[in-house]
Amino acid sequence: MGERAVGVTPPRVMTVAGTDSGGGAGAAADLRAFAACGVHGCLAVCAVTAQNSVGVHVVHGVPPDVVAAQITAVVEDIGLDAVKTGMLGTAEVVEALVRTCDDAGIGGDGPVPLVVDPVLASMHGDALASTAAVESYRALLLPRATVTTPNLDEVRLLVGVDVRDRAGQHEAAKALHDLGARHVLVKGGHLAGDTEASVDVLYDGSTFTEFPGPRVDTENTHGGGDSFAAAITAGLARGLPVPEAVAFGKRYVVEAVRHSFALGAGYGPVSALWATRPWWEHPDG
Ligand code: PXL
């Protein structure tokens, strides 16, 4: 007999997301964040994108029944402690996802928390969701979200609020909460007024909680939103209540942005490498 394996099963999470051939955003960013945050990451792919640091060249959607089958296969055998959505692309994928989540107790009143990162467009303005998909987010997905994590562009597309200050963040959070999301995190990264800090606002239907963080002078923030939402999802899977999971995610993503790097001629990615131990320098390696 060989030696005994020493692994202990970590919390299990899934990202329902698109791929980015440049490795910066989407499923790749999510899975790196999951690993850095100590959870096992499962993946349901919704769309394949051909892209680099400059732009998105091709988007190829995965059939909705294949998206649903990926989730069901994992739920039936492995089980999930939290789920995150990233790029979904079409209303048909949103509908298939919602049906599958309802059957599996994911989101809504179910036991498995659902983090909805409403990925609607890339940093370059390339559309990553159809107009019909945006309507499905409003009607079907946000009502089931444990937490949703829009940036200010996504807020404008979802509820038509043009956020310019903290009061605008509050107004947007209320509008998204009215659509049914249990917790709304309106991120302030794109807010012009806050020059030193970037303040994200969490709203639970009664209380606003502010999460201030440093503003890092870099354009290399590709995958930043995905990484933040993925780390929040990991925090929930680790048993943290929502505000603590948001604080956990913020700690992760601030360092990921600090350690972002140049890659290609456009926007480089945030980095998970700050949080991963160089095993080749470790005595066990
Ligand atoms: O960062 C948002 C995002 C998520 N998922 C995919 C993407 C992007 C941005 O480009 O390409 C697949």
Residue 273 within a domain: no
What are the φ and ψ backbone dihedral angles of 42, each rounded to 5 degrees? -100, 160
Q: Output the pLDDT for position 126.
A: 87
Nearest CA to ligand 1 atom 1: 223
- Strands of 54-196 (E only): list them: 56-61, 82-85, 114-116, 147-148, 183-186
Residue 178 within a domain: yes
What CATH number is associated with residue 103?
A: 3.40.1190.20
Nearest atom, ligand 1, residue 49 CA: 12
Burial 205-229 (b: 16+ CB within 10 A, else e): eeeeeebebebbebebbbbbbbbbb
**Ligand 1 proximal residues by C-beta, below 6 Å:** 17-20, 25-26, 49, 51, 86-87, 119, 122, 128, 223, 225-226
What's the CA-to-centroid distance between 126 and ligand 1, angstroms? 10
Residue 266 within a domain: no
Q: Output the pLDDT for position 125.
A: 87
What's the CA-to-centroid distance between 285 and ligand 1, angstroms? 33
Which residues constitute the domain of residue 106? 12-259
What is the tens place of the pLDDT at every residue in 146-173? 999 999 999 999 999 999 999 999 999 9
Which pair of structure tokens corresponds to residue 198?
């970037």
What's the CA-to-centroid distance between 281 and ligand 1, angstroms? 33
Residue 81 within a domain: yes
Residue 269 within a domain: no
Residue 162 within a domain: yes
pLDDT over 70, % of the chain: 100
- Segment 193-215 shows an average pLDDT of 92
Residue 6 within a domain: no
The continuous run of DSSP H or E covering 176 comes out as: helix 166-178
Residue 174 within a domain: yes
- Segment 132-149 shows an average pLDDT of 98
Spatial separation of the C-alpha atoms in residues 90 and 45, rounded to whole Å: 13
Give the chain's domain count.
1
Q: Output the pLDDT for position 190.
A: 82
